Amino acid sequence: MIIFEDVCKTFQLERGKKVSAVQCLSLVVASGEVFGCIGPNGAGKSTTIKLLLDLIRPDSGTITINSLPSRDNASRARVGYLPENPCQYDFLTAHEYLAYSGNLSGLSSSIIAERSSLLLEKLKLSQAANRRISGYSKGMQQRTAIAAALIHNPDLVVLDEPMSGLDPLGRKLIFDLIAELKEQGKTVFISSHVLTDIERLCDRVGIIVQGRLCHEGQVSDLTMPLEELFLQVVADTGLDEVK
């Protein structure tokens, strides 16, 4: 269970300017829930995720993961994270990278071998597994990053734009993978632009605009297609782009 309570974050820009990235965000994601976080570019989705993972710190408010504060390293023991536009250590092979990822979570080498061959197989990377990542296509790199995020079979999976850079086949692979995670009862936090995927995968969605959570609700309760709702919510906030 993830709980955001009144979380605010402002960034200092040059010449004393400030920008409010997240404003008074309160949000609860229940265990076993698939939560979709959508919003225009620069709305604060990635910032929210980085706050959750303690990569950056809130100015005020608290965040807890399974009742552990996010500032506690132990809160992330069972978390898998796919960053936006992920870069791996491209001097490693996919095998080596997954082993590194597994070691970070303290997995034994036999479990790493088992899990990585499983994930590489699922993500259709087995054939390239012993080549260096630097030679991979963008889609392959994205899939490797997802495999690395899942190697330790995390309970909470945080995916920032998981579909970016993937061709339709790759997207299908990831889509099935997330569906499988959902079946296994994992908690999944997705931020994405691809609203159709969110609509089909998620239990609940939150729409973030200009650092504020403007709408939150069950996907099953939607009375109109998500895209329409999204445009309407954004228009209500008075954001110029939509008008």
Partner 1 sequence: MLQAIIKVTFLEGLRNKAVYGISLMAGLMMIFTVVLSGMIMRDVGKVATDFALSTATFAALLVVLFVGIIILARDLERKTIYLALSRSVPRSNYLVARFLGLGLLQGFVMLLLLVASLITLVLVKNMYARYFGAVSLGLVAVAHLFVFVQMLLLTALSILFSMVASSPFVTFILTILTWLIGSSTQEVKLLIESAGSDKFFPVVKILVTLAYYLFPNFALFDLKATAAHGLTLHAGKAGFALLYGLGYSVAVLSLALVLFKRKELT
Site for partner 1 in 118-177 (CB under 8 A): 148, 152, 158
Q: Please identify, using beta-carbon distances, which residue of 128 and 158 lies nearer to partner 1.
A: 158
Q: Which of 29, 79, 157, 234 touches partner 1 (CB under 8 A)?
A: 79
Work out how close the CB of 242 gets to partner 1 at its nearest, in angstroms, rounded to a whole number: 27
Closest to partner 1 by CB, 148 or 209: 148
54 scored as a contact of partner 1 (CB under 8 A) = yes
Rule CB under 8 A: say whether 56 interacts with partner 1: yes
Give yes or no for residue 66 binding partner 1 (CB under 8 A). Answer: no
> Any contact of residue 11 with partner 1 (CB under 8 A)?
yes
Any contact of residue 53 with partner 1 (CB under 8 A)?
yes
Beta bridge partners of 132: 93
Of the residues 62, 69, 89, 196, which one makes contact with partner 1 according to CB under 8 A:
89
Q: Toward partner 1, which CB reaches closer, 51 or 208? A: 51
Applying CB under 8 A, among 6, 30, 31, 57 the residue interacting with partner 1 is: 57
What's the min distance (Å) between Cβ of 196 and partner 1?
A: 28
Q: What is the 3-state secondary structure (H, E, C) of the chain?
A: CEEEEEEEEEEECHHHCEEEEEEEEEEEECCCCEEEEECCCCCCHHHHHHHHCCCCCCCEEEEEECCEECCCHHHHCCEEEECCCCCCCCCCEHHHHHHHHHHHCCCCHHHHHHHHHHHHHHCCCHHHCCCEHHHCCHHHHHHHHHHHHHCCCCCEEEEECCCCCCCHHHHHHHHHHHHHHHHCCCEEEEECCCHHHHHHHCCEEEEEECCEEEEEEEHHHCCCCHHHHHHHHHHHCCCCCCC
Rg (CA), the chain: 18
Of 106, 58, 55, 52, the C-alpha closest to 75 is 52
Instruction: Give min distance, CB of 172 to partner 1, in A.
Output: 25
**Total of chain residues touching partner 1, rule CB under 8 A:** 33
| Residue 104 binds to partner 1 (criterion: CB under 8 A) | yes
91 binds partner 1 per the rule CB under 8 A = yes
Q: Which residues bind partner 1 (CB under 8 A)?
A: 11, 50, 53-57, 73-77, 79-81, 83, 86-89, 91-92, 96, 99-101, 103-106, 148, 152, 158
